[in-house]
Amino acid sequence: MRIDEDCIGTKEIPDDALYGVHAARAAENFQISSEKLHPLLIQSLIQIKRAAAQTNLAAGALPENKAKAIINACNELLFGSYNAEFIVPAIQGGAGTSANMNVNEVIANLATRNSGVKIHPNDDVNLAQSTNDTFPTAGKMAMLRSIPSLMASLNRLTKTLLDLAGEYQDTIKVGRTQLQDAVPTTFGKTFHGYYSMFRRDIKRIEMASNSLKEVNLGGTAIGTGINATPYYQDNVVRTLEGTAKLGLKQAEDLIDCTQNCDAYVIFSGALKALAVDMSKFSNDLRLLSSGPQAGLAELILPAKQAGSSIMPGKINPVIPEVVNQVSFEVIGDDVTVTMAAEAGQMELNAFEPIIFKNILKDEEFLTNALTTLNDNCVSDIMVNEAACAKEVEYSAVTATILTPYLGYVKTTEIVKQATRENKSVKELVKDSGLLNASLVDELFKADSLVNERIAVKAMAK
Residue-wise pLDDT tens digits, 280-325: 999 999 999 999 989 999 999 999 988 888 988 899 999 999 999 9
| pLDDT in the model for residue 399 | 87
Residues 165 and 268 in one domain: yes
Residues 378 and 398 in one domain: no
Span 436-459, mean pLDDT? 73
Residues 68 and 150 in one domain: no
Structural domain includes residue 225: no
Residues 408 and 380 in one domain: no
Q: Which of 319, 350, 385 is the last residue of a domain?
A: 385
CA angle (297, 366, 141) in 5-degree steps? 165
pLDDT band, residue 460 (cuts 50/70/90): very low
* SS3 of 220-289: CCCCCCCCCCHHHHHHHHHHHHHHHCCCCEECCCHHHHHHCCHHHHHHHHHHHHHHHHHHHHHHHHHHHC
Residues 203 and 273 in one domain: yes
Residues 454 and 372 in one domain: no
| pLDDT in the model for residue 455 | 36
Residues 341 and 266 in one domain: yes
Residues 50 and 188 in one domain: no
Structural domains of the chain, count: 3
**In Å, what is the CA distance from 97 to each residue of 53, 84, 120?**
19, 19, 16
Tell me the pairing of strands 382-383 and 214-215.
unpaired
| pLDDT in the model for residue 456 | 36
| pLDDT in the model for residue 453 | 52
CATH number at residue 34: 1.10.275.10
| pLDDT in the model for residue 454 | 42
Residues 415 and 316 in one domain: no
Structural domain includes residue 238: no
Q: How many Cα atoms occupy the beta-carbon half-sphere of 72 within 13 Å?
A: 16
Structural domain includes residue 421: yes
Structural domain includes residue 344: yes
Structural domain includes residue 74: yes
Domain that holds residue 7: 2-127
In contact, 169 and 191? CB cutoff 8 Å: no
| pLDDT in the model for residue 452 | 67
Q: Cis before residue 230, ω within 30 degrees of 0?
A: no
> Which residues, other chains included, contact 114 with Cβ-Cβ below 8 Å and sequence gap of 6+?
69, 72, 73, 76
* Average pLDDT of the chain to the nearest whole number: 94
Report how far apart the first and last C-alpha atoms of the chain are (Å, whole number). 100
Residue-wise pLDDT tens digits, 157-211: 999 999 999 999 999 999 999 999 999 999 999 999 999 999 999 999 999 999 9
pLDDT band, residue 60 (cuts 50/70/90): very high
CATH number at residue 170: 1.20.200.10
Residues 328 and 423 in one domain: no
CA–CA dist 374, 370 (Å, integer):
6
Q: Which of 79, 100, 127 is the last residue of a domain?
A: 127
Residue-wise pLDDT tens digits, 76-107: 999 988 999 999 999 999 999 999 999 999 99
* SS3 of 319-370: HHHHHHHHHHHHHHHHHHHHHHHHCCECCECCCHHHHHHHHHHHHHHHHHHH
| pLDDT in the model for residue 116 | 96
| pLDDT in the model for residue 307 | 85
pLDDT band, residue 457 (cuts 50/70/90): very low
Structural domain includes residue 289: yes
CA–CA dist 26, 357 (Å, integer):
16
CA–CA dist 290, 97 (Å, integer):
51
In contact, 48 and 240? CB cutoff 8 Å: yes
Structural domain includes residue 81: yes
Q: Which of 331, 355, 385 is the last residue of a domain?
A: 385
SS3 percent helix, strand, coil of the chain, rounded to 5, is 65, 10, 30
As annotated, the active-site residues are 308
Determine whether 240 is exposed, middle or buried from the number of CB atoms within 10 Å of its CB (0-12, 13-18, 19+): buried
Span 394-402, mean pLDDT? 89
> Which residues, other chains included, contact 159 with Cβ-Cβ below 8 Å and sequence gap of 6+?
none
Structural domain includes residue 158: yes
Residues 353 and 451 in one domain: no
Residues 407 and 296 in one domain: no
CB atoms within 10 A of CB 354: 18
| Residues 389-428: b if buried by 16+ CB within 10 A, e if exposed | eebbebbbbbbbbbeebbeeeebeebbeebeeeeebbbeb
